[in-house]
Amino acid sequence: KKVKMERAVSLQKTSGSRHIPDTPEPIAYLHRISLPKVRQPVSYISNNHPLEAKEKILIQDQTSAGFQAEAERRAKARKWVENTLKSNADNIARAEEVRRLEEEARKRARMW
């Protein structure tokens, strides 16, 4: 009898204290949200960019116009990747420059 009572009390405690909300936690679907990343490796860009991905699919439209369109799309994709890489490189260079200047300032401060 005593054990049963203790179990009942413990059950009441757990069910009362922990209220489970009806709405799912935001963490549940965070993986679906793609946040803009500053530094992306090349493979990430080429794998996830729709225009680049189309290069992997065989060209369905076999007409010359289709080939032209495909070539234009590929050129656009390549340009997009190059620009992204360039801006990433610029960001990295800027960060390194800032770090170097901060270090110099720190050294100067230490001298005084």
* Segment 34-47, tens digit of pLDDT: 555 555 444 444 45
Q: Domains in the chain: how many in total?
A: 1
- d(Cα 48, Cα 65) in Å, to the nearest integer? 26
Around Cβ 77, how many Cβ atoms within 10 Å?
A: 19
- pTM (2 decimals)? 0.30
* Segment 49-101, tens digit of pLDDT: 555 545 555 445 555 666 777 788 888 888 888 888 888 888 888 889 999 99
Specify the DSSP element, H or E, that contains 71: helix 64-111
- d(Cα 37, Cα 20) in Å, to the nearest integer? 34
- d(Cα 107, Cα 73) in Å, to the nearest integer? 51
- Residue 78 is part of which domain span? 2-111
Torsional class of 19: left (φ above 0), alpha (ψ -120 to 50), beta (otherwise): beta
